[in-house]
Structure 1
Amino acid sequence: MAESNKKMSLMGLTTLVSVNMMGSGIIMLPSSMAQLGAVSLLSWIITAIGSMAIAYCFAQCGIYCPRSGGMSAYTEEAHGKSAFFLCSFLYFLSLAIGNVAIGISAVGYLTPFFPWLGSGAIPLFVGTVGLIWLTTLANFGGPSITGKIGSITVWGVIIPVAGLSVIGWFWFDPAVLSAAWNPNNLKVGDAIAQSIPLTLWAFLGMESAAQNSDAVEDPKRNVPLACLFGTLGAAVVYVLSTTVIQGIVPNADLANSTAPFAYVYAQMFNPFIGNIIMALAVMACIGSLLGWQFTLAQTAKVTADQGMFPKLFSKVSALNAPIIGMLVCGVLQTLMALSTISPNASAQFSKLVSLAAVTNLIPYVTALSGLLVIMYKAKVSPAIFTRNVAALMVAMLYSYYALYASGKDAVFGAMIVLAVGYLLYGFIAKNFVDKQPASGRA
Structure 2
Amino acid sequence: MGTVSAGSANKMGVVALTLVTASNMMGSGVFMLPTNLAGVGYISLWGWLFTIIGVIALALVFSKTSLLTPRTGGIVAYASDAFGPFIGFQTTVCYWISAWVGNVALLVAGIGYLSYFFPELKNPIYGCITAIVILWAFIGLASLGANVAGRAQSFTASCMLIVVLGIGLVGWFWFKPQLFTEVYNGTGRSSSSAIISAASIALWGFLGVESAVVSTGQVKNPEKTVPQATVYGLLIAAVCYVGSCSVIMGLVPHNELVHSAAPFADAARYMFGDLAGNIVSALSIIACFGSISGWLILQSEGPRAGAQQGLFPKFFSDTNKNDVPVKSLIFTGVLMSLVLLLTASPDLAKQFEVVILMSVFASLLPYMYALISLPIIMVSRKLNHGKGFMFYCTMVVIGVIYSIFALLGSGNDSLYWGIAMLMVTIPLFSFVAAGRNKNGKSILYLDK
What is the TM-score of this pair, normalised by structure 1?
Answer: 0.95
1:146 counterpart residue number: 149
Q: Within 5 Å, give how 1:100-115 maps onto structure 2.
A: 100-115=104-119
1:95 counterpart residue number: 99
Matching residue within 86, 89, 96 for 1:85: 89
Q: Within 5 Å, give how 1:361-400 maps onto structure 2.
A: 361-380=364-383, 382-400=386-404
2:355 counterpart residue number: 352
2:44 counterpart residue number: 40
Q: Is the 8 A contact 1:64 1:378 kept in 2?
A: no
Larger mean CA deviation between 36-45 and 378-387 belongs to 378-387
**Which whole-Å CA distance do the structure 2 matches of 1:43 and 1:435 have between them?**
46
| Letter of the structure 1 residue corresponding to residue 13 of structure 2 | S
Q: Is the 8 A contact 1:90 1:363 kept in 2?
A: yes
Any idea what the Cα deviations from partners look like across 1:292-321, whole Å, max 9, x if unmatched? 211111222111111111111111122111
Q: Is the 8 A contact 1:19 1:158 kept in 2?
A: no
Matching residue within 406, 411, 419 for 2:415: 411
2:3 counterpart residue number: none
**Which whole-Å CA distance do the structure 1 matches of 2:152 and 2:176 have between them?**
38
**Which whole-Å CA distance do the structure 2 matches of 1:268 and 1:213 have between them?**
45
Any idea what the Cα deviations from partners look like across 1:165-210, whole Å, max 9, x if unmatched? 2211110111111223335654321221222221011110101111
Q: CA deviation at 1:430?
A: 3.0
Q: Residues 185 and 81 from structure 1, CA distance in 2 versus in 1: closer, same or farther, beyond 3 angstroms?
A: closer
| Letter of the structure 2 residue corresponding to residue 388 of structure 1 | Y
Q: Within 5 Å, give how 1:48-127 maps onto structure 2.
A: 48-118=52-122, 120-127=123-130
Q: Does 1:226 align with 2:216?
A: no
Q: Residues 276 and 3 from structure 1, CA distance in 2 versus in 1: closer, same or farther, beyond 3 angstroms?
A: farther
**Which whole-Å CA distance do the structure 1 matches of 2:230 and 2:250 have between them?**
30
| Letter of the structure 1 residue corresponding to residue 227 of structure 2 | P
Q: CA deviation at 1:114?
A: 2.1
**Which whole-Å CA distance do the structure 1 matches of 2:133 and 2:214 have between them?**
31
**Which whole-Å CA distance do the structure 1 matches of 2:321 and 2:194 have between them?**
51
Q: Is the 8 A contact 1:73 1:84 kept in 2?
A: yes
Any idea what the Cα deviations from partners look like across 1:308-365, whole Å, max 9, x if unmatched? 1111111112211111211111111111111222121111111111111111101111
**Which whole-Å CA distance do the structure 2 matches of 1:417 and 1:220 have between them?**
37
User: What stretches of structure 2 of length at least 5 have no aligned partner?
Assistant: 1-5
**Which whole-Å CA distance do the structure 1 matches of 2:441 and 2:125 have between them?**
53
**Which whole-Å CA distance do the structure 2 matches of 1:84 and 1:160 have between them?**
39
2:432 counterpart residue number: 428
1:205 counterpart residue number: 208
2:309 counterpart residue number: 306
**Which whole-Å CA distance do the structure 1 matches of 2:429 and 2:339 have between them?**
22
2:176 counterpart residue number: 173
1:23 counterpart residue number: 27
**Which whole-Å CA distance do the structure 1 matches of 2:397 and 2:120 have between them?**
49
Q: CA deviation at 1:3?
A: 5.6
| Letter of the structure 1 residue corresponding to residue 373 of structure 2 | G
Q: Is the 8 A contact 1:59 1:224 kept in 2?
A: yes
Q: Residues 182 and 408 from structure 1, CA distance in 2 versus in 1: closer, same or farther, beyond 3 angstroms?
A: closer
Q: CA deviation at 1:373?
A: 2.0
Any idea what the Cα deviations from partners look like across 1:270-310, whole Å, max 9, x if unmatched? 21111111111111111222222111112221111111111
Matching residue within 383, 402, 405 for 1:401: 405
Q: CA deviation at 1:243?
A: 1.0
Q: CA deviation at 1:89?
A: 0.4
SS of residue matched to 2:261 = coil
Structure 1 stretches of at least 4 aligned residues deviating more than 6 Å after TM superposition: none
Q: Does 1:267 align with 2:267?
A: no
The number of equivalent residue pairs is: 437
Q: CA deviation at 1:212?
A: 4.0
Q: CA deviation at 1:116?
A: 2.1
SS of residue matched to 2:213 = helix
| Letter of the structure 1 residue corresponding to residue 110 of structure 2 | A
Q: Does 1:253 align with 2:270?
A: no
Matching residue within 215, 220, 238 for 2:218: 215
Larger mean CA deviation between 397-406 and 291-300 belongs to 291-300
**Which whole-Å CA distance do the structure 1 matches of 2:65 and 2:402 have between them?**
18
Q: CA deviation at 1:435?
A: 7.0
Q: Is the 8 A contact 1:342 1:348 kept in 2?
A: yes
2:247 counterpart residue number: 244
Matching residue within 185, 191, 196 for 1:182: 185
Q: Residues 13 and 271 from structure 1, CA distance in 2 versus in 1: closer, same or farther, beyond 3 angstroms?
A: same
Q: Is the 8 A contact 2:264 2:280 kept in 1?
A: yes
SS of residue matched to 1:244 = helix
SS of residue matched to 1:154 = helix
**Which whole-Å CA distance do the structure 1 matches of 2:25 and 2:232 have between them?**
12
| Letter of the structure 2 residue corresponding to residue 177 of structure 1 | F
2:197 counterpart residue number: 194
Q: CA deviation at 1:441?
A: 10
2:166 counterpart residue number: 163
What is the TM-score of this pair, normalised by structure 2?
Answer: 0.93
SS of residue matched to 1:307 = coil
Q: Is the 8 A contact 1:180 1:250 kept in 2?
A: no
Q: CA deviation at 1:4?
A: 6.4
User: What stretches of structure 1 of length at least 5 have no aligned partner?
Assistant: none
Matching residue within 128, 136, 141 for 2:139: 136
1:336 counterpart residue number: 339
Q: Is the 8 A contact 2:29 2:109 kept in 1?
A: no
Q: Does 1:318 align with 2:321?
A: yes
Q: Report sequence identity in percent.
A: 35
**Which whole-Å CA distance do the structure 2 matches of 1:270 and 1:8 have between them?**
43
**Which whole-Å CA distance do the structure 1 matches of 2:371 and 2:147 have between them?**
31
**Which whole-Å CA distance do the structure 1 matches of 2:218 and 2:380 have between them?**
24
Q: Is the 8 A contact 2:8 2:220 kept in 1?
A: no
**Which whole-Å CA distance do the structure 2 matches of 1:306 and 1:23 have between them?**
30
| Letter of the structure 2 residue corresponding to residue 39 of structure 1 | I
Q: Is the 8 A contact 1:34 1:252 kept in 2?
A: no
